[in-house]
Chains A and B, each alone.
Chain A
Amino acid sequence: QSVLTQPPSVSAAPGQKVTISCSGSSSNIGNNYVSWYQQLPGTAPKLLIYDNDKRPSGIPDRFSGSKSGTSATLGITGLQTGDEADYYCGTWAGSLSAGVFGGGTKLTVL
């Protein structure tokens, strides 16, 4: 069982928007920055969002991140079939003195 809770799966049609939630507590998300990763099938994870809402160079603005209290959200607009992947949130858990990830969310673009 992961420290951070994500929905196992989400789906939406091409061109539509989807959001993926990441729920934690005051000992992790509530007092630390959140990052998001995209893992395409058979590949290494790729950083999409860091420091809650910042995009690394090269990541399109279709991807956005936000944080409120002990939860964070990844938003993807203008969905493309190439966005089908597993998405993970991550942060620092002070109570555990460890980095932690959510269990991952599989995005299906119908």
Chain B
Amino acid sequence: QVQLQESGPGLVKPSETLSLTCTVSGDSITGYYWTWIRQPPGKGLEWIGYIYYGGSTNYNPSLKSRVTMSVDTSKSQFSLRLSSVTAADTAVYYCARRGGHLYFDYWGQGTLVTVSS
């Protein structure tokens, strides 16, 4: 059974950079696309982007200027960096595995990141 676990600071100051890591267990990270999705409190889901195990990426155009994703296959981890955060970036951040036609079959439990001074 594939398991994903997000980790990172729960509180980030405005204008700083949000950094999260997702650790994959139960299956190889290779051969798949890995995704970040977020959900502001009380709101719906927003796709942030995905990274292939080989390193190629595809970001949501609305966030592209601030997003960087990376992957470390040796650690079975992939990461998200979101720069210049504001209160609007406060959300539960999920990592997930992307299936063939952009569906998400395995999800982490999510981690709440609050942007506040």
Q: Interface on A for B, CB 8 Å cutoff?
A: 2, 32-33, 35, 37, 43-47, 50-51, 56, 88, 90-92, 96-104
Contacts and interface: CB of A to CB of B under 8 A. Distances in A.
Interface in B57-101: 58, 60-62, 94, 99-101
B46 interface: yes
B101 A99 contact: no
B44 A88 contact: yes
A47 B104 contact: yes
B44 A104 contact: yes
B101 A45 contact: no
B60 A99 contact: yes
Select the residue from B45, B60, B62, B100 with max chain A CB neighbours within 10 A: B45
19 contacts: A2-B44, A32-B102, A33-B102, A35-B101, A44-B108, A44-B109, A46-B107, A47-B99, A47-B105, A50-B101, A51-B101, A56-B105, A92-B101, A98-B47, A99-B47, A99-B50, A99-B60, A103-B44, A104-B44
Instruction: Classify the interface of chain B: helix, strand, loop or mixed.
Output: loop
Given A90-B103, A104-B45, 16 more contacts: A2-B44, A32-B102, A33-B101, A33-B102, A35-B101, A35-B102, A44-B107, A46-B107, A47-B103, A50-B99, A51-B100, A88-B45, A97-B58, A98-B60, A99-B50, A99-B102
Given A32-B102, A47-B103, A97 B61 contact: yes
A33 B47 contact: no
Interface in B10-67: 35, 44-47, 50, 58, 60-62
